[in-house]
Amino acid sequence: MLILGIDPGLRITGYGLIRKSNKNLELIEAGTIKTNEKHSLGERLKRVYEDLEEIFQQHKIDVVVLEKLFAHAKHPITAYILGHVRGVAVLLCEEKKVELIEYLPTRVKKAVVGNGHASKEQVQQMVFTRLGLKSKFLDYDITDALALAMTYCFTKENKI
């Protein structure tokens, strides 16, 4: 089973694709999609769409996992911007007929670290440990996306 986690952002969207087989998780591909802040919103969203679509074309993805959208009173514009990028991912899932799952950030942290209020560093460390990664040079956008995909694996009936 191939699970794609997407950490949406207008400036940087992180993604992580893992394969779950039996009790094993394997990293297939991970990276970021960066957009140019000088470009229009439409151009930037098109870039995210095209890059994600390429991932869908290269792999037979079974499930996509996104972080549930929530608005913070101090940063309402952030939710607005994330909504656009999330919409791109939701549209692709619908077009490709791929199941879409959403989790709250606290659920992801709880599933991956065991603490719903874990730091980004703790989440990153557990992603490296669980996937057996030697390099510690993945940025938070990537490890957050991988954590989303891992959460799906950890919360399904066949827990790892």
Catalytic residues: 7, 67, 141
Token pair belonging to 40? 């229009």
Question: In sequence order, which ranges of the chain are alpha helices (DSSP H)?
Answer: 41-58, 76-96, 105-113, 120-131, 140-155
Q: What angle do CA 5, 10, 15 make, to 5 degrees?
A: 20
Sheet bearing 63-67, strands edge to edge: 24-34, 12-21, 2-7, 63-67, 99-103
User: How far is it, in rounded angstroms, from Cα 51 to Cα 61?
Assistant: 15
Helices (H) and strands (E) in the chain, counts: 5, 5
Rounded CA Rg of the chain: 15
